[in-house]
Structure 1
């Protein structure tokens, strides 16, 4: 595995850790304020960070960026994914919801072939399958008796939207600076969520708004790491590492809420770790075979 690809992998793993930390903060916040309000504050915070760093140059670049069109589409996909995901969460348990949503890495790998023209060797497919089996084991889906229902379709639809947006990110990441993409993406998300605040805005304490803003800071770091990872490695390599966020979720659940994982969680985590090792070894020895 080249240093560039390895950097992309490490950036992606770090990004999913930050996104898991963001989700933990959102779990605290949704008790008091609506998701739409959280997303708006989060997006505005990220825009403020981007403008503070890039100043007026980043605003000018964003206004004239050649990826404005694709970023609008990607922002709509992300917005749709969040709406489907959080609505499905009202009826589905964490195990079902997590497992269904983690169909995304498989879809990402599938889409990488026709859309990005990536050559996906069997070792990457194997890693995706191993990772997904790890998620099924960790969340004990087999013991839940999950049946096809409207919430199930919503969770799967969220996975589809996320997968398409991730593949699209790879295309835009190669043609624009990360900070410009972050500015555009969050501007459109603020534009989508802003009008809904007329109906959903809930008065919040300064501490709650501060935590919502902190969520934006964490998300900004996560987005930067993810965008940079996409610039350095093909999405079919990075896709299985999305499963690592499940491990972070269980770790944070233990540290913050005292949720003690069951034995199946550790077995599933081992399989997810094996999926990552499979990718790394496959890329390393595959390059040696070629050379």
Structure 2
């Protein structure tokens, strides 16, 4: 595995840790604050950080950037994914929701072939399958089963939208600086969610506003790590590492809420870890990545 690809993998793993930490804070906030309001403050916080760092230069680059249209499409896909996901979450249990949503890495790997023209060797397909089996085991879906319903379709739809947006990110990541991508993405997301606040805004305490802003800071670091990872490695290599967010979620659940993982969770996490090792070993001893 080249140093560039390894840096992309490590950056991606860090990104999913930060996103898991973000989700943990959102878990506290959604009890009293609408999701769209959280997303708005999150986007404004990230945008403010980008402007503070890049200043006028980043604004000029963003206005004249060739990726504005692809970023507009990606932002709409992300919004559709989040709306589908959180609506499904109202009915589905966490195990069902997680398993369905983690179909995304498989879809990302599949889409990378026709859209990005990536060559996906058997070892990467194997890693994706091992990781998905790990999710099935960890969430105990093998024994409980799942029936097709509207919430199930919404969760699958969220996975599809997320997969397409991730593939689009790889295309834009190669064409523009990370800070410019973050500026465009969060300006558009803040614009769209801001429109929804006309109907969903609720008063917040100073503590809630502080936590929501802190969530934005964490998300900013996560976005930067994810965008940088996409610049350095093909998405078919990075896709299985999305499963690590499930492991981070279990670790954070234990650290913050004292949730003790069952044996199936530990075994599933081991399979997810094995998927990552499979990728690393395959890239180290197999053909070099493009």
TM score, norm. by length of structure 1: 0.98
Residue 128 of structure 2 corresponds to which residue in structure 1?
A: 128
Stretches of structure 1 lacking an aligned partner (at least 5 in a row): none
SS at match of 1:119: coil
SS at match of 2:225: helix
What value does the CA root-mean-square deviation take over the aligned residues? 0.9
SS at match of 1:254: helix
Q: String of CA shifts for 1:121-156, please: whole Å, max 9, x gaps.
A: 000000000000000000001232321000000000
What is the CA–CA distance in structure 2 between the aligned matches of 1:144 and 1:287, rounded to whole Å?
40
Q: String of CA shifts for 1:227-264, please: whole Å, max 9, x gaps.
A: 00000000000000000000000000111111110000
> Mapping of 1:1-291 within 5 angstroms?
1-287=1-287
Task: Note the C-alpha offset of 1:32.
Answer: 1.2
What is the CA–CA distance in structure 2 between the aligned matches of 1:188 and 1:141, rounded to whole Å?
37
Task: Note the C-alpha offset of 1:180.
Answer: 0.3
SS at match of 1:118: coil
Stretches of structure 2 lacking an aligned partner (at least 5 in a row): none
What is the CA–CA distance in structure 2 between the aligned matches of 1:168 and 1:87, rounded to whole Å?
24
Q: String of CA shifts for 1:163-189, please: whole Å, max 9, x gaps.
A: 000000000000000000000001111
What is the CA–CA distance in structure 2 between the aligned matches of 1:156 and 1:139, rounded to whole Å?
16
SS at match of 1:147: coil
Q: String of CA shifts for 1:7-52, please: whole Å, max 9, x gaps.
A: 0000000000000000000000001110000000000000000000
Task: Note the C-alpha offset of 1:226.
Answer: 0.2
What is the CA–CA distance in structure 2 between the aligned matches of 1:142 and 1:257, rounded to whole Å?
26
